[in-house]
């Protein structure tokens, strides 16, 4: 495990973005039958998921979130010194999505950009990378995370089709000598790679489409084996106990798993965030979308002690204990239909 503390970096705001397209229980019922659809929803806590339209990419969702964030903070694009993009569903094989978003957002020529290919642990890993690099680069950073996993799902595979949705999140960071430390714990175990994967490159059969495979039993066992210890290490680095946190925000994979982990850690139900009912598992975007959906008003109102933990594909896991807030904004926007320009995004309350 890698445990570290990063001081002097403040989070200024978070904006999530989801596509307008939605797939719900009625759609699953047409494919799998009404009884099976409701049984899956009861087991996972997921009743609908946001799905990108044809032609929409991860960069479209991330751009919409980033533009709303920059506008809300009154940051000009040329004031951003670092861009970190975390995704497994890049627009192109190359260039990386960070370069695409650098151009589309109009960031200055000298800004540093980096792509990180992580999934469910991606937000915590991205926060660690962005905060650590910002200590060297100085100034301001944008962390953009997002995935369009629905593109990789076989719609007839009931093990994964009802679970995965699309979304993105944008987080603004800034050097601030008075900001409290963030305590991280990160780790990986490549032995888990075969249990959650999409074959590609030399491993992919050219006659078959790229499809997501997941062994749910192995995922659950890995989560129970590694995540509690990671959370304990992050708390220890912060000098906190589990009772000191205001909210536990886990990767939003499955409601039963989230609640089970919360109980295992001794966190009261009301302090464990479950915000996937209408979003599904949005991979790297699940933690920022949970923050904007469930904690937006409280994080703009004041400071909260949070424990964030992401875990999944790789195996990979990352936890961070941090004080977040007050944020200038913490909200979700919706990208309509086939529209890709970011200025077409609207507040979630206007499009629900």
Catalytic residue among 120, 247, 254, 330: 120
**Do residues 114 and 83 touch, judged by C-beta distance below 8 A?**
yes
Residue closest to 82 by CA, chosen among 138, 147, 29: 138
CA distance 196 to 88: 13
**Do residues 248 and 265 touch, judged by C-beta distance below 8 A?**
yes
CA distance 268 to 266: 6
What the block records as the tokens of 313 is 């594909």
Catalytic residue among 17, 102, 281, 330: 281
251 is a catalytic site residue: yes
Catalytic residue among 102, 251, 254, 330: 251
281 is a catalytic site residue: yes
**Which residues fall within 8 angstroms of residue 115, CB to CB, at 6 or more apart?**
85, 86, 87, 90, 96, 97, 98
What the block records as the tokens of 327 is 């944020």
Question: Between the CA atoms of 190, 312, 179 and 304, what dihedral angle is there, to the nearest 10 degrees?
Answer: -150
Q: Where are the beta strands (DSSP E) in the chain?
A: 2-6, 9-19, 22-24, 48-50, 82-86, 112-116, 140-148, 166-175, 182-188, 196-198, 212-214, 247-250, 304-312, 316-324, 329-335, 346-347
Active site residues: 120, 251, 281
């Amino acid at each position: 495990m890698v445990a570290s503390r990063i001081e002097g970096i403040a989070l200024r705001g978070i904006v999530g973005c989801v596509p307008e397209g939605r797939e719900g229980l009625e759609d699953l019922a047409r494919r799998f039958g009404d009884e099976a659809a409701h049984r899956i929803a009861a087991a996972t806590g997921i009743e609908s998921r946001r799905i990108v339209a044809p032609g929409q990419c991860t960069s479209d969702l991330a751009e919409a979130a980033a533009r709303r964030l920059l506008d809300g903070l009154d940051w000009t694009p040329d004031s951003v010194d670092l861009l970190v993009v975390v995704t497994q569903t890049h627009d192109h094989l190359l260039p990386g999505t960070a370069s695409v978003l650098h151009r589309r957002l109009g960031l200055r020529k000298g800004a540093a950009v980096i792509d990180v290919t992580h999934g469910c642990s991606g937000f915590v890993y991205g926060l660690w990378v962005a905060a650590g690099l910002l200590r060297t680069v100085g100034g301001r950073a944008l962390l953009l995370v997002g995935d369009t996993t629905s593109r990789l799902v076989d719609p007839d595979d009931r093990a994964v089709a009802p679970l995965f949705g699309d979304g993105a999140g944008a987080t603004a960071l800034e050097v601030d000598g008075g900001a409290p430390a963030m305590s991280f714990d990160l780790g990986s175990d490549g032995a888990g790679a075969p249990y959650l994967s999409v074959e590609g490159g030399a491993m992919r059969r050219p006659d078959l489409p790229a499809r997501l495979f997941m062994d749910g039993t192995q995922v659950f066992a890995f989560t129970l084996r590694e995540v509690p210890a990671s959370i304990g290490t992050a708390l220890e680095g912060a000098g906190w106990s589990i009772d000191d946190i205001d909210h536990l925000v886990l990767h939003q994979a499955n409601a039963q798993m989230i609640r089970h982990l919360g109980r295992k850690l001794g966190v009261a139900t009301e302090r464990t965030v479950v915000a996937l009912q209408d979003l599904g598992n949005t991979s790297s975007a699940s933690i920022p979308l949970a923050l904007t959906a469930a904690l937006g008003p409280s994080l703009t109102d004041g400071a909260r002690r949070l424990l964030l933990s992401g875990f999944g594909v790789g195996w990979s896991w990352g936890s961070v204990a941090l004080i977040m807030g007050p944020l200038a904004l913490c909200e979700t926007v919706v990208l309509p239909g086939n529209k890709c320009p970011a200025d077409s995004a609207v507040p979630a309350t206007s499009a629900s």
